[in-house]
Amino acid sequence: MSTSDKPRFPYLLVDGRRLDTGNNFLPVKESLDLMLTCLVEGGNPRPTIKWMVILSSNLDPVLLDESGAELGLNVTETRGSDVTANRVSSLELTRSEARIASIQRIHHKATVVCIVDHPALKSPLNASILLDVQCK
């Protein structure tokens, strides 16, 4: 017998802190590195996470896979149990990290999107952030 459990809605972390769902605007300094983490609870089988960067000057989004070749983005993915100080959850946690090695002016007003796909979903889930590059 095969089961397919839907994953929960993804959320983003910046520097280990969860982003407020109402705030999709992230100020970042030019030339610094940026590490974004996309977390998804649940999903059986394991959900697939991909990243997309949409530059404000480009109408065509750039879809990134695990190689993360575009815009210097490095992507890694891990999976583990969701453990907190108050409880141990039976939900599996799928985590994908995207790193932009050096924020540039071209990233100003770019949207970085974490896309979660799973066989039990009718359409992919996503979480996104808009970059506000503060130039030197």
d(CA 93, CA 78): 8
Say what the pLDDT of residue 89 is. Answer: 46
**One-letter amino acid identity for 26?**
L
| Buried residues in 86-125 as b, exposed as e (16+ CB within 10 A) | eeeeebbbbebbbebeebeeebbebebbbbbebeeeeebb
* Entry pTM: 0.78
What pLDDT is recorded for position 23? 78
- Averages of pLDDT over each 10 residues, the chain, 136 residues: 78 88 87 92 91 76 52 53 38 86 88 93 95 90
Query: Domains in the chain and their CATH numbers?
Result: 5-134 (2.60.40.10)
Look at residue 80 in the predicted model and tell me its pLDDT.
Answer: 47
| pLDDT value, residue 99 | 86
The DSSP 8-state label assigned to residue 124 in this structure reads -
pLDDT for residue 56: 79
Q: Pick from 97, 101, 96: which is nearest to 33 by CA?
A: 101
Helix %, strand %, coil % of the chain (to 5): 5, 55, 40
